C-alpha cells in the first residue's frame, strides 16, 4: 500500500494538449486583415523547402521554468501535512496487517473477525483519503500549469513565427499516446529557448539548489511529487 501511495502522489496530473496552446496563441497573435500568404511577412516565416516543423515539450517547458519550479515546490510544501497524515494512516494499517499475520492462529474467531473488520475499514478509509489527496493535488497542479501556459503561449507563437516554423507539435507524451513517433530533438526542439525566454520575461529567479544531505540515519524516501523538468534547465533531479 505504501508503494501505491507513493506512485499516486508522484504521478503528474497536468494533462496538457497543444490544442490549448494553439487556441491561446492564436488569440494572442495580432490579426492582419490585409495580410495574405503572398505578403513579405508571411514569406519570411516559411522555409523555401516546405513546411518547417518544430517540437516542444509543454510540460517540461512549464514545470522546468523558474516560475513553474517555484510554484510546484510551494505546492509540495503545502501538501506535506497531508502526506504526513497519510503516512501515519498507512503505518497504522501495516501494523494491523502484521498483527493479523502473526497472531491469526492464536486468536479466537470473534477476535479474528473483529481485527479483519478493523483492517478492512481502515483500508477503505485510507484508499479514499489517498484518492482525495491525489485529486486535490492534481487540480492545483493543473491550475499552476494553466496559469503559466496562458503567459507562455504567446511567446511560443512569437518564437515560432520569428524562426520560420510553420507548425509546432507537443511531445509531452510518448508515442503511441502522442502521434509523434520520432523527432530529432537537437534539430527541431524549441523547449530550451522558450524556457530561457520565459524566465527572462517572468523575472522569477531560479529556485535555490537543494540543501546538501546531512550525515544522518537513513530515512524512508520522500513521497513528495517532483515536476517534470526540461533537460536544458538545471532542475533538481528526480
Strand partners, 56: 170
Residue 207 in domain? no
Whole-number pLDDT of residue 72: 95
pLDDT of residue 178: 79
Q: Nearest-CA neighbor of 231 among 47, 2, 59?
A: 59
Task: Kindly state whether residue 69 falls inside one of the protein's structural domains.
Answer: yes
123 within a domain of the structure (yes/no) = yes
**Does 124 map to a domain?**
yes
Q: Is residue 161 part of a domain?
A: yes
For residue 23, the model assigns a pLDDT of 41
Predicted confidence at residue 175, as pLDDT, reads: 83
Residue 48 confidence (pLDDT): 52
**Domain span holding position 113:** 2-8+16-27+46-202
Query: How many domains does the structure of the chain reveal?
Result: 1
Q: Which residues on neighbouring strands pair with residue 189, listed in sequence order?
A: 55
130 domain-assigned: yes
Give the pLDDT of residue 181: 80
Identify whether the C-beta of residue 90 lies closer than 8 Å to the C-beta of residue 126. Answer: yes
| Inside any domain, residue 227 | no
Of 146, 133, 1, nearest in space to 80 by CA: 133
Give the bridge partners for 170, in sequence order. 56
Q: What is the rounded (10 degree) CA torsion for 46, 52, 58, 64? A: -90
Instruction: Confirm whether 66 is domain-assigned.
Output: yes
Would you write out the chain's pLDDT as a tens digit for each of its 238 residues? 433 333 333 333 333 333 333 344 444 433 333 333 333 333 334 445 578 999 999 999 999 999 999 999 999 999 999 999 999 999 999 999 999 999 988 899 999 999 999 999 999 999 999 999 999 999 999 999 999 999 999 999 999 999 999 999 999 988 888 778 877 777 789 999 999 999 999 999 998 865 544 443 334 434 344 444 444 444 444 3
**Residue 198: what pLDDT?**
96
Per-residue pLDDT at 183: 75
Amino acid at each position: 500500500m505504501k508503494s501505491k501511495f507513493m506512485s499516486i502522489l508522484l504521478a503528474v496530473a497536468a494533462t496538457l494538449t497543444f490544442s490549448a496552446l494553439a487556441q491561446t496563441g492564436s488569440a494572442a497573435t495580432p490579426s492582419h486583415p490585409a495580410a495574405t500568404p503572398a505578403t513579405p511577412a508571411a514569406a519570411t516565416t516559411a522555409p523555401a523547402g516546405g513546411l518547417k516543423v518544430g517540437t516542444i515539450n509543454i510540460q517540461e517547458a512549464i514545470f522546468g521554468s523558474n516560475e513553474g519550479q517555484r510554484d510546484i515546490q510551494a505546492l509540495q510544501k503545502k501538501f506535506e501535512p497531508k502526506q504526513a497524515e497519510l503516512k501515519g494512516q498507512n503505518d497504522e494499517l501495516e501494523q494491523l496487517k502484521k498483527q493479523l499475520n502473526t497472531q491469526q492462529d492464536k486468536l479466537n474467531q470473534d477476535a479474528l473477525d473483529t481485527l479483519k473488520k478493523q483492517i478492512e475499514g481502515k483500508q477503505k478509509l485510507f484508499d479514499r483519503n489517498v484518492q482525495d489527496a491525489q485529486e486535490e493535488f492534481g487540480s492545483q497542479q493543473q491550475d499552476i500549469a494553466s496559469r503559466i501556459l496562458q503567459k507562455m503561449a504567446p511567446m511560443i507563437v512569437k518564437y515560432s513565427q520569428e524562426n520560420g516554423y510553420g507548425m509546432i507539435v507537443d511531445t509531452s507524451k510518448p508515442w503511441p499516446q502522442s502521434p509523434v513517433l520520432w523527432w530529432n530533438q537537437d534539430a527541431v526542439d524549441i523547449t530550451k529557448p522558450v524556457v530561457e525566454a520565459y524566465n527572462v520575461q517572468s523575472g522569477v529567479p531560479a529556485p535555490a539548489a537543494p540543501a546538501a544531505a546531512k550525515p544522518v540515519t537513513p530515512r524512508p524516501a520522500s513521497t513528495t511529487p517532483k515536476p517534470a523538468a526540461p533537460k536544458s534547465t538545471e532542475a533538481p533531479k528526480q
